[in-house]
Amino acid sequence: MGCSKWTTGFNFGHLKAQSKLSVFFTMIIIFTYLFYCLTGYCDSLPRPVYDQQTSFLQKLQLNDGLDLPPQQQSDARKSSSPGSVVRELPGFHSGNSRLQEKDNEQRPDNISIANNFGSKKFPQTIIIGVKKGGTRALLEFLRIHPDVRAVGAEPHFFDRFYDKGLEWYRNLMPRTLEGQITMEKTPSYFVTKEAPRRLFDLSRHIKLIVVVRDPVTRAVSDYTQTLSKQPGLPSFQSLTFRNSTTGLIDTSWSAVRIGIYAKHLENWLQYFPLSRFLFVSGERLVTDPAGEMGRVQDFLGLKRVVTAKHFYFNQTKGFPCLKKPEGSSRPRCLGKSKGRPHPQISPEVLLRLREFYRPFNMKFYQMTGQDFGWD
């Protein structure tokens, strides 16, 4: 009998303890939920996705002022606010971020993915060319500026990875605060036939920077880079000419083709006016980096923060380097792949190549209104 009472009391006490434990865990769950909701986590839960690619592109076109059929315009306007566009992207939310410019609040490159540390936006500026012209140097110089945020690696979205979609591209971008510029560089865009149209479909307001260099020197530099990776590469002369006897230049070789700047620019001018471009001299970027950087900052609407005080000339490499930043023990120079010594090439070969480029250079000067002094 005593044993039975003891067992009953034990069971009652055990059930009471379980009840308290259940209440305790329930309270933990409730408080945890309230905490995350108060900190804004609940707002970041995924939202429904409706026909993402078609809807998103239509809204970008509508916001950017492109023409759509009247019925599609009417349908798109019903949900064309920046917030509604962002909400339809998987895993994104509009938050409470402000857009950078009132008069451009409908621009696709200002549609953002916001959090407390900034927003991911499409680039407002892209360095589109050219290979071996000085694009890496320009990007590194620009990254000193506090109002510039740039992708380090080349995205190659508009030439190689366009099929990955706009969300993929924007996710590559760094987060920016209000007033900062998002930018990237991919030099192969300038010579890619499809790139201008694809970029125009995204935004007609984008600013485009082209770093150009004497096409003969650029071709030799291009060859030198390839030779460092492929030691068995044929000679520069054999690749330059289709027939060394007649002196006919082989324009199918990319090292030669890239330097026909006028031809590539014609392709871009079918979509963008000349006012959207800035042509930077690769030579002056070496001899007067502060001067060229002043032009670039003016073009981007930035305060001239990057000045002569940031540079010194590295005699070994043969180009300017950035003075060491505060807290660093060494200056910032471009990597070992920059400033390679060029192989010896016959002056006659270089002369023939220079004669080939001369008419294209003259046309390029005329198109841009700039004499780069290559002849």
> Active-site residue numbers?
132
Return the number of other C-beta atoms located less than 10 Å from residue 194's C-beta.
Answer: 12
| Annotated binding-site residue? 121 | no
Alpha-carbon span 58 to 8, nearest angstrom: 72
| Annotated binding-site residue? 133 | yes
Alpha carbon 153 to its chain centroid, in Å, reads: 8
Alpha carbon 285 to its chain centroid, in Å, reads: 20
Helices in 288-339 by DSSP H: which ranges? 289-299
For residue 303, give every residue at least 6 positions away whose Cβ sits within 8 Å of its Cβ, in sequence order, or none: 147, 297
| Annotated binding-site residue? 143 | no
- CB 215 within 8 Å of CB 261: yes
Alpha-carbon span 201 to 245, nearest angstrom: 46
| Annotated binding-site residue? 341 | yes
For residue 313, give every residue at least 6 positions away whose Cβ sits within 8 Å of its Cβ, in sequence order, or none: 319, 320, 321
| Annotated binding-site residue? 324 | no
Phi, psi of 352 (to 5 degrees): -65, -40
Alpha-carbon span 129 to 143, nearest angstrom: 17
- Can you tell me which residue has the tokens 């009391």? 9
| Annotated binding-site residue? 47 | no
Sign of the Cα pseudo-torsion (48, 54, 60, 66, in order): negative
| Annotated binding-site residue? 135 | yes
Alpha-carbon span 293 to 304, nearest angstrom: 8
| Annotated binding-site residue? 235 | no
| Annotated binding-site residue? 338 | yes
Binding-site residue ranges: 132-136, 213, 221, 338-342
Please give the annotated binding residues for 3'-phosphoadenylyl sulfate, written as ranges: 132-136, 213, 221, 338-342
